[in-house]
Amino acid sequence: MQVINPATGERAETVEEHDASDVQDALERSTAAYEEWRERPIREREELLAAAGDVLRENEREYAETMTREMGKPISQALAEIEKCAWVCDHYAQHGSAYLEADSHPSPPGSDVETVYDPLGPILAVMPWNFPFWQVFRFAAPHLTSGNVGLLKHASNVPGCAQAIEDVFREAGYPEDVFQSLLIPSDLVDDIIEDERVKAATVTGSGPAGRAVASTAGDQLKKSVLELGGSDPFVVLDDADIEDAAETGAWARNQNGGQSCIAGKRFLVHTDVYDEFLERFVAEVESLTVGDPMDVDTDVGPQAREDLMETLHEQVEASVEAGARVLTGGEPMDRDGAFYPPTVLADVPEGCPADSEETFGPVAAVYEIDDADGLLAKANDTELGLGASVWTTDRARGQRLAREIDAGCVYINQLVKSDPRVPFGGVKESGYGRELAREGMLEFVNRKTVWTE
């Protein structure tokens, strides 16, 4: 695996891949580790997870710099990501036992009926590069604590992150092989899912990746959870706080270089406030600092890879050719590295890439819409359904609209985020299943009914 620093275009490191033989050895070790790990008292597993949170905080600068070097995340955001990973460890260390408590059910006199939650075994996690620590920890924290063991197939451009995460669990005192990183190409994933020792799979990534994993897992009658991206609407109603909406919207679109499934991507603005919002929004976008991701003052770093930036620019060019108007940005930056400026498109025609495809980078599409019904229709005019953001000073109005938006989560007067305390996931082609909170923890357990007379 060739690690290319996206801020410079230079090779940072070469990492040797694992081969099919290495995978077989890992699966054998994983199975053996599970037999011991599943018997560990839940309190011991929680204590080890708390220790993992401590390891993350103790080494946060090292881990953040690895992240920034491999995929270009600005260092301040990388540090925040490590802190968030420590938080999810804290959360399940504190609440894991409660989440896994048995549920009692009505039963005849003299009998006792409950549902207990047992682990499944080795779980494969196929994870993306955009949040290379957080995506993994929001899988590992709940599911290792429930008694499963983890196998990570990380994105090929962040092998240092994959190795560092394995080291976190080792340094925290986890038994050997409870969590393993497999540095493998994607063409070995199907074989792993088909192996009888692997009991379930989860993937965060593109639609094609999710469909491939779901197809193989389904053929093997194995559970899968998919989180597959979004084209999130950012709905600005006529009574919104425009200053707040514009400031938050600029960040919702551009944090992490715009490379986020839950970024605000389609800005749907009521005609009564459209001009004011657009003026403020463009000003906020233009105020963001693009530069060296190792600089703490940088807001937007490079795109993670040169080819990803090229694909993004092709989407912008095709949208402009179809009639979209560039208000700021719109061209790759004249400097070393895969830098693309924060970009705003207006007058976006229906069916162009900025309208109908997920733009995975700092490109915002802004629409002027006459009424609330039109805003709702446009919000739902997508095959994806991950998140949505609604802006209004009337909280009850926002809640009513939220119930009508086809998405896995809707945030009112806030950007969309994932939080350990609440379930996260999508509908439609954004996938199925949930991560985080109790609902996420129970995705990979055997919900076993126990009837006692």
Residue 352: active-site member = no
User: How many Cβ atoms sit within 10 Å of the Cβ of residue 321?
Assistant: 10
Residue 261: active-site member = yes
Beta bridge partners of 369: 270
Name the active-site residue from 85, 89, 161, 261: 261
Cβ atoms 388, 408 nearer than 8 A: no
Tokens at residue 452, please? Answer: 């006692």
Q: CA angle 45-47-52, nearest 5°?
A: 95
Name the active-site residue from 227, 284, 429, 443: 227
Q: Which residues are catalytic?
A: 227, 261
